[in-house]
A and B are shown apart, each in its own frame.
Chain A
């Protein structure tokens, strides 16, 4: 079984500052992938960043980076230079594999963190 925990129901950040959104996970799968999605108030799900459990480097995509600490089972999202348009709900999610290495395909989501960026 997989579990994703996002302990911050809401976060506030000043425009242009950096913010870290926490995500911890629990799994016994031999390999897995970690995802972050953004859901603005309009409702669509926007893929932000992916980290594979065997990736040596932390993933980065523009202003988004993933602080992956495998031993601590954490995959925190760091948003640098926050913008007003970053205000949204953010979801951490995981996809695992079975013992044979086949991906389950489905994503397990955390509860989400609402980020509010203040001008």
Chain B
């Protein structure tokens, strides 16, 4: 597709429940990036993929968070046993290369943990 597609747009989970977010990168883009935006300003890098391989996971919390990019499937970000502090907007971005002059962002998934 011509845009980064993220689903769902909104997700509400009770504390302790699992949350799974999806991202379909732009066709032909090999790199996928996940970011967490808390409180409308602070962006935190989580993880990136080169095709189905992890490219950089330095921002990924060691516990409860996992992500995958499998061939012919949307990429996914999963949070086990959600906590209130996980409430944020999760953005996915894709690009053709890690050094591209632009990364295209999806619309984001707003996760609310209650």
Contacts and interface: CB of A to CB of B under 8 A. Distances in A.
Contacts of A56: none
A45 B107 CA distance: 7
A111 interface: yes
A105 B98 CA distance: 4
B79 interface: no
B31 interface: yes
Contact size range, B: 20 to 34
Contact of B89 (A43, A97, A109, A112): A43
A69 to B, nearest CB: 20
Given A43-B108, A44-B107, A45-B91, A105 B41 contact: no
Contact of A111 (B35, B41, B45, B56): B41
Q: Which of B31, B33, B40 counts the most A-chain CB atoms under 10 A from its CB?
A: B40
Nearest to A43: B108
Contacts of A89: 40-41
Interface of B: 31, 33, 35, 40-43, 45, 48, 55-56, 59, 89, 91, 93, 95, 97-99, 101-105, 107-108, 110
Interface of A: 33, 35, 37, 43-45, 47, 50, 52, 89, 91, 93, 95, 97, 102-109, 111-112
